[in-house]
Amino acid sequence: MRRLACLALLTAAPALFFAARAGAAPSDPTRYAACIEMAGKDPARSLQMAYAWRIEGGGVPARHCLAVAQMNARHYEEALKNYEAAGEASEAARDGQAVALWRQAGDAALIAEQPAEAVRFLSRALAKPGGLELSPRAEADLLTARAEAQVAAGKPDAAMADLTRATELSPEFFTPWLLKATLARRGGDLATAEAALLKAAALAPESADVELEAGNIAAAKGEMTVARQAWEAAAADAPDAPAGQAAAAALGRMNAKLPEKPLTSEPLPATPR
């Protein structure tokens, strides 16, 4: 589900109006938009369009479209190479698109199940290439994305550091608080988990993700009545969402009196985009 959502996000990326590099063909926003749109509908045709455009001197936008088309065609290794090439070319051109390209490259690497590459790409974005300024919220978003990649790479301490920094930069940002609660609970730090979840709940009191995590924390503490109540709320509030379905599954295990599934092995909740 997350992979499909990320692919849709990459394909739906807004057409970026890249500045033409010296000696290259003029930037063509119409051609770029058509290529990106085709990548979601017919990746094979989009690949042909992007290859031809790149040969003609299409520069960064052509290479970016090629990467998006390759992702949709599941040519992941080639796509990551072209995302990196696009990011580096954008930095060299100082066209203002490098951060967005490195962020997309990070998402693409996670789809390709290469979390170490995702961490590397997102670190490039956080380095503020070309002297680009980032708002506190934008930097917090990048840190949150890198934290997810750090978790996937088996580096929970680095992930926690990124999430803590994200909550400091943008305390009104819901997602890092929720992920911090989940990660702390996985690590057995229930006090930190509860404190982070209270922050998340204050920002989104009716969130099924918050209710699910409240149940998980209660279960980790052995408070099964509280866990049941929280899971029932999540399942009722969002029956078709991942949080609601996870809560329903937890209730099913409880009702069947089966051994509890370890609460340290499930993935982080999906990041709202």
Structure tokens at 85: 């090439």
**Is the pLDDT reported for residue 68 higher than 80?**
yes
Structure tokens at 110: 């996670």
**Is the pLDDT reported for residue 56 higher than 50?**
yes
Residues contacting 241, CB < 8 A, separation 6+: 208
* CA-to-CA dists, residue 131 to 16, 126, 139, 194, 251, angstroms: 19, 11, 14, 38, 50
Per residue in 165-223, pLDDT tens? 999 999 999 999 999 999 999 999 999 999 999 999 999 999 999 999 999 999 999 99
Structure tokens at 241: 């969402």
Q: Could you give the domains of the chain?
A: 2-129 (1.25.40), 174-255 (1.25.40.10)
Answer yes or no: are the C-beta atoms of 142 and 134 closer than 8 Å: yes
Answer yes or no: are the C-beta atoms of 62 and 50 closer than 8 Å: yes
> How many other CB atoms are found less than 10 A from the CB of residue 4?
9
Compute the distance between CA of residue 37 and CA of residue 28 in angstroms, rounded to an integer. 14
Q: pLDDT band at 131, cuts 50/70/90?
A: confident
Per residue in 222-264, pLDDT tens? 999 999 999 999 999 999 999 999 999 999 999 886 555 555 5
Q: CB-based burial of residue 262 (10 Å sphere; 0-12 exposed, 13-18 middle, 19+ buried)?
A: exposed
